[in-house]
A and B are shown apart, each in its own frame.
Chain A
Amino acid sequence: MPVRATFQLKGLDAYLEDLSAAGQNVDLVAAELLSEVAPYAENELRRNLLNTKQAGETWTGETEGNIEVSDVQQDGNFSFFELSIKPTSDAQEIKKEFGTARQPAEPFFRITLRGHLLKNKVKAVMKQLLQKYGVSA
């Protein structure tokens, strides 16, 4: 099973309504926003994974290589991308994220989604798009 979680940020609706009132296609703007954020999220996940590396540890790089980010997708009014890690041969990503019977958790996925950096990035890109389309933030 891949490691997967949901990141949702409240408070963007008002911005999107402003864009709609300004005549912009909200779905296209949301897709533009997410396409800017997706690679950032992928890099943040990789950075947080590598931050768990202890001195002297040798890694195969399999978990890092299995990080995936999808294209922006739409389901009705819901726009999203998927950030995930394909299962490794021995579920290393789950062992690291949640721990084992003898090993504490070294969370990297949850802190990527819950930390402030990703939220700040979304807000910053949103403001850029508002400026681009002539809507005051």
Chain B
Amino acid sequence: MDEQVKDKRFISLTTRFLVVFTLGVVLPLIITGVVQFAINYSTQNLQVENLQSRAAESVATTIDAYLAQFEGEMTLLSSARFSQAGESPDELLEGLLVYDAGFELLTLMDGTGQELAKKSHLEVLSSDDLGNRADSAEFAAASRGERYLGPIFESQYGEPWVTLAIPVQDVYGNVEYVFSADVNLKYMWDAIEEVEVGSEGYAYVVDGEGRLIAHRDSSLVLQWRDLNDVAGIRSALQGEAITDSYIGLEEQRVVGSYLPLEQTDWFVLVETPTSEALKYVYWSAGISGVAIVVALGLASWLGLYLVRTVVQPLKQLQKSVAIIGDGDLSYRVDIQTQDEIGVLGDAFNDMAARLEEIVAISEKRETERLQMQEQIIEAQTEALKELSSPIIPVMDRIIIVPLVGNIGDDRAVDITRSLLAGIRQHRAKVVILDITGVPVVDSAVANHLYKTIQAARLKGARTIITGISDVVAETIIDLGIDWGDIDTVRDLRTGLVSALNSLGIQLSK
């Protein structure tokens, strides 16, 4: 773990598996989801467009038929009857009023604009109510031989009415009469309500000033409110295409389109709530979303499953290596899976067992070797001891002990022992202790030598020290050691002479 922390580039297999699985599953889903969304969006848009244009055409046809019906009825009546004797114009107009409830007021004018007859649906009119309408727009248009459709106006009780006028011509084409009608547009509403625009869409008709003429909700029409704040209507009035969704007439967000009517300055607007227009797009986006979430869950689950089957045993192996590396060769991993990981675990355990075996053998060998080495060292030490203080019997009752090298405490004891043994063995009277080969004499060594000499004396032997070097002499003086009662001579030769002398042997020249 410490290594993992130290190495910043370490990315655990768990993370890798999760990332790979997640990306591998989710990325393709997101890509197909986005593509699907784009396709659905354009398809749905096209469908809504088609639906709306069909609805708009249908409404346009309905309105044309509605107006054409009034015009047709007026034309039929005028061409057949006005010029003939028999029924009075009053009766003819009354008959038409009853025939079609859409006619609210009918007026027949002569070629000068003088009203000849006038009948209303509601009011009782008499000849006193007749006037001259030569200055009116409907007369002006109809007297030129044109059909006239006036602006929408609000009736006494707030309903949208429109004035329709047609010329009645004689056989020569001269305008003999002008036949004018106030038509109630409310009967158009029912016809519009029947036009279906999907399940929630609706169509309505707006005049050239942006006033609502027909809609399935009568209340909206009768409110006479200014609709220029509805973006779709504004676009229609300005002749611009509707590009974006907007808050529609029924105050929800819609996609809309419009169709100008041919014979009037009116427009048909068709609006479909965006919730319906994009229903399938939202639906498929929702499905994609759910699929992505499910796939994400599945990928995570698979990743974790893989982690469990691969990474966990690997971690166990990693831990085992560390434990065995620390010296616990008896440690074994516990992986029971019947797969490559399981085989690896078994192989690891075999390897650990072999390693333990090899290490055991080598440890045993090492112990044996160490024991042997110890024995050798012991023997050699013994031999060395003997060599470190040799007893040389140069003559009868004279032995020489030459000392070489440093004299430690152990060696000092050995020297004493072997010197006393030499005295006993050789019945020596004089011992010559040669210290030429001793480089350093400290107070301890000096004491030892002194004690050895005293011991030899007790055994009846005189000790002569030879070979005191300058350095040793200086040390003895510096240390303040008193060797006054010890025989010291310059060298081994002098010592030997002195020894012989003490035995009463004179050397002749």
Q: A and B from one assembly?
A: no
Residues in B lying within 8 Å of A, measured CB to CB: none
